[in-house]
Structure 1
């Protein structure tokens, strides 16, 4: 195995010359690694003979699929085994080896009946996956065995059976029926402004808000697939189906366990075991997460060829593109500093690097030290290197309860969920998906860059015309009418027509169902039936613990909760569609009645975190004409605010600590006025507190939250309604960390600002300190254990029903 050494960075000596200790260690490490034999030892003559005997029984070497393809094949494999079991057609292996076309067609009927398939594309994908399953299991290609004509005919008839029987019976919709919306700079501006200035969502850390903005920018500027930035690896099935299908690399003509062959009696067992491993699946792990890591990014300060000023620049090397495991084809994109601070990805990347302490140079600690770097004479750029320990760490990482994971990347689902919710709350008619940005980048490059460059940036094979088939904007972005009439074309109008911003209504949001609609909504008969059954079982009792029908009551409660949530989500979605369809008619009728037109008023920036308020005003109210020095100062200020905001967080206590104005319908009535410029409103002044953190706390305050500098002062000094609620909060959010510290022999710190130097040895000592010094009584260990046991029992009852 290669030796592992910890690299020590070279430090300048007293005279300024570098210390080469780190280089000498690197050389020694590489020389030690080179002495280790990495290639496997050659097989002996007897082992080669055994290997030839083994290959003699090999019928088919399985193709090398990507891990995602293997997981997809195991999915259809589970459906096939279920079909063989429930329909009693026989063993799955024997049935697929002697597959006939009637079984094949009936299987797809079974799939459509028992699984939620809504489109033709999904059912056709299942047909392709089943073809791969057949090849993997039987070792016979569709057109390369004695069943060639039968299987080929079966596929053809299956296609006809699919179109003539399955599609009309289950109402499978055709692909692309909902269109393929495209983003542009106006759409990006709206979502970035909303994310920074108006979004009221609560994230575990405001660092996630910075990650979202940076992801939005990079997706739109590069057309990268989301899986190139965040983690989108699917989990392998735990039922053993992946190993059952792909555990060996070959299909043997005579089935033997593990693909082994019969050996001579006098053959060495070590030789046979070594040969047997050749056709077994290896477990090859990655040395880094499959997401954008620091080693993929190069930050640099470049001397501008025209002005000669030192300007920041960045390059990103995308390596986790589609098909990268089998055919790696990385693409490098360069970024320059944008003149509009809101659109600049370099500032966000610098901020993330400062927050992660990722720069190799110790002097790069803030915005001014990074953006104030000068390029040495005779050189064109000065790269800013990363620490070796940060190279394989994801840039966008998972955040849980205010703690940033060290090496777990942000999930694809989290990015997609937040982007969709923010797009709806920002007033867009359709929920955004991450593909919107990729289509926007592709259409922006189309016509502005040569087709080979466009295909290179999108990682498309030009032979298949992927852009024309899947990414070209379905809206013809050309004024053919006026071109035919030889009149001046309306280019600006058609620029508006071609993107999702056309139908945006800033008055709309995700959940906009009026209260009177909920009040007058007819009850769901299914939910009423379940509630009636539950009331009969409860017999008028409120507490159900110990009731003989407790399991059934809890099962009915879960069903009612699920159905009610599903109905509410459906009504919210349908009302939003109803609103966007009928709102123009309501506006027309208001005009016909002679009423004043509703004028959209830019909502005021009303945020809890002061750093976020300052950042929002800096980004949203940027003057148009700034000198180079003024722009540099604003960039420095923006990075400093990004860094300060990244360490802050809000909690659900926010809504109860400070009254907030509603921004859901920022409309005023009256004569229409033209707004000449957007100016930041003065920030309200808060009355100074004499002592916001007294040593003797309120009995219902949290002893940990009061010292959390990431929260606002309102949330730190928040008092719960009862001590029981405070104890529930402390046990759920803080107690686990203190118990873990006690088990690892680490000191337990008191988080109170005036007890920062207090270190305690046990949770028991922490409870005594909090009660005697701060006047807060926490639950004892016995009480905590009793509560935990009760929660586990309730979960077990709910799960077993």
Structure 2
């Protein structure tokens, strides 16, 4: 019967509902000690049916008020004017350190934004408090009406269920139907998919992974190194570990850096925009613009595939490795 905000409980619930419906009807004018014991058993932390925030429709209706629209329009017009003159607000703030007039202009812009947020926040708070007051004031009569008519009480919000798709996939692959007889190729694909699902499921509760690979200590009593067998498959050039064709958001520069941990080397971004920003800021900006460089893919490093510039590298990444960089 309580609420997450104790102030709402004190204003809208205790006097109207507890004192009238419970104290007077059940206990018939109890003593203060009995009242305090009763209130101690009342939940002050949660009422699942009480409104805790405005809905999207209520926010849209609230933002259509004339004073809020006027405040927002003034702030947007000021923002457009500054961007038209200085491209971005950050550049304008850097120039404002040397120009008093621009500093005054930016202070007025910030004042318009604070005014807009103040009006919007105040109206949202007042609207939410009015909804909460209406809910708690009509709660007693609503419960009595439901009891009289035989209707069930309204259920609270459905708790979130955290269903892991990896578990469903593992159950389907590890315990197939008895009448299914997959072929040899399907068994290989299912085994690989099981490994991927297990890695994804363990990664949900995995600890923080190291950024750098572990350094090997020099061993004085180690036997002399033997000549490698040319038929052996090295980890950096093995097509099973680092294939030529990747998903579209693989980081080639991080993949070719053997000092990084394997999890960091094989990490993929969720979209090409984040990939392009990372490659441009962390790798391409540190290279000479007129100097050719070798493609950072491990296989391309062995075969010495050179890229003339950044544009050539992006074309090579798209045509050879299926990696798309945003323009």
State the TM bucket, normalised to the shorter chain.
0.3 to 0.5
Q: TM-score, normalised by structure 1?
A: 0.19
The TM-score with structure 2 as length reference comes to 0.38
- Which structure shows the higher strand fraction? 1
Of Structure 1 and Structure 2, the greater helix share is in 2
